[in-house]
Amino acid sequence: MASKNVLAELKDFADCIQTNASLAPFTQLKMGGPAEVLILPRTLDELSAVLKRCFDQQLRFRILGSGGNVLVHDEGVKGIVLRLAAPAFTQISTNGSRLKAGCGATLAAVIANATHHGLAGLETLVGLPGTIGGALLLNAGDRTSDIGQFVRRVEVLDNQASVQMREHDELRFTSTGTILDDPVLLSAEFDLEPERPESIVKRLRKSWIQFKATQPFSYQSAARIFKNPAGLNAAVLIEQTGLIGTKVGAAIVSDRNPNYIVVEPGAFARDVLRLIDLIRTRVHERFHLELELAISVW
Ligand SMILES: Cc1cc2nc3c(=O)[nH]c(=O)nc-3n(C[C@H](O)[C@H](O)[C@H](O)COP(=O)(O)OP(=O)(O)OC[C@H]3O[C@@H](n4cnc5c(N)ncnc54)[C@H](O)[C@@H]3O)c2cc1C
C-alpha cells in the first residue's frame, strides 16, 4: 500500500498514478514486487510538475525504461517510479541526417525508423533491449561501437525540473556510461550517415546474428550482471570459477555467456541476488577482484 503522505502530496496527479503497481512486466527479468506509486505522465508539463513536487516534498523517485538493467526486489520499490511510455516521450522524427527520439522510445523503434529513412550508424545496437533514456545513461553498445558516439545533444529536465539542452561538448560517454547526471533525460538527437536502406538492412542482419550468438537466447528472461573490470572480461572470469550452469532457485548462470543470469518461470529476485553473491565470492576467492554490478538493484 502506498503511504498516505506520498499519495497526499501527489493528489493533483491522480489521473496518471497507479498504486501498488506491478513492475515485473516492465523489466526484462519479469520479476520483483510492485512500485509503491507508479506514474505515467502524459505530457512534458505533467512530468515537469510531478518532478517539481518530488523535489519540493523530497519524495524519492526513479525512472524506469524497459528494465533491461534493473532488478526489482521481491518486496517491491518504496516511493515513486516514473515511466515515460506516453506518446509525448516516444516520438521519433528525422531531418536530413539528424534523427530525434524521445527517451521513452525503444532502441528497436529508433533503429527501424533510421533504417526506413536511410540513416546508418545504430545497427550494432540491434537486439539490445532498452529505451533511448536507459541506453544513453549506460552508453549501451558493444566493443565495436556505442550509442554515445552518435549523440549530438540531449534534452533533459534538470534538478529544478526545467528543460535544458546538453550540447555535444558537455556530453562525455565512456565504456560504462555518461557524465549526464540530470534527473530525467527527455530526448536525444543523433547524427547519422545517409545510406541506402538495403545496405543498412544487410548490416543489421549481420549485427543481429552476432548479437544472438552471445545471448542466452533460449530464455525469455535474462540480465547482464557485472561490468567488465578494466582490461578484463567478466564472462571469462566467471567461466574460470566453474560456475557455468549453477542454479539457485530458478536463477541460472548462463552457459552461453556466464556474465548473464537467466531465469526460469517462478524465479524470485532473491534467487538472482543469492546467485550474484555466489559469483562475486568465487571470483574474489580466485582472482582477488571485486566484480562491480552493471545491473541496478531497486
Ligand atoms: C538480454 C540482455 C542483453 C543486453 N546486452 C547488452 C549489450 O550487449 N550491451 C549493453 O550496453 N547493454 C546490454 N544490456 C543492458 C541494457 O539492455 C542496456 O543497457 C539498455 O540500454 C538499458 O535500457 P533500459 O531502457 O532497459 O533502461 P532501464 O534498465 O530501465 O534503466 C537503466 C538506468 O537508466 C535510468 N533511466 C532510464 N531511462 C531514463 C530516462 N529517460 N532519464 C533518466 N534516467 C533513465 C534508470 O533509472 C536506470 O538507472 C543487455 C540487457 C539484457 C537484458
pLDDT tens-digit map of 237-256: 999 999 999 999 999 999 98
> Which atom of ligand 1 lies at the shortest distance from residue 214's CA?
8
Q: What single-letter DSSP state applies at residue 173?
A: B
Q: What is the mean pLDDT of the chain?
A: 93
146-150, 196-200, 208-212, 254-258: least confident range? 208-212
Condensed to tens digits (0 to 9), the pLDDT of residues 114-124 reads 999 999 999 99
Are the beta carbons of 224 and 235 closer than 8 angstroms?
no
Query: Is residue 72 predicted with pLDDT exceeding 70?
Result: yes
Ligand 1: residues within 6 Å at CB? 28, 62-70, 84, 103, 128-131, 133-135, 137-138, 140-142, 184-185, 215, 222-224, 296
DSSP-assigned beta bridge partners for residue 92: 101
C-alpha 138 to ligand 1 mean position (Å): 6
> Taking residues 288-293, what's their average pLDDT?
96
- Helices vs. strands in the chain: H and E counts, helices first: 7, 17
> Which atom of ligand 1 lies at the shortest distance from residue 28's CA?
53
Burial 247-270 (b: 16+ CB within 10 A, else e): ebbbbbbbebbbbbbbbeeebbbb
Condensed to tens digits (0 to 9), the pLDDT of residues 91-127 reads 999 999 999 999 999 999 999 999 999 999 999 999 9
Are the beta carbons of 239 and 255 closer than 8 angstroms?
no
For the record, the C-alpha cell of 160 comes out as 529544478
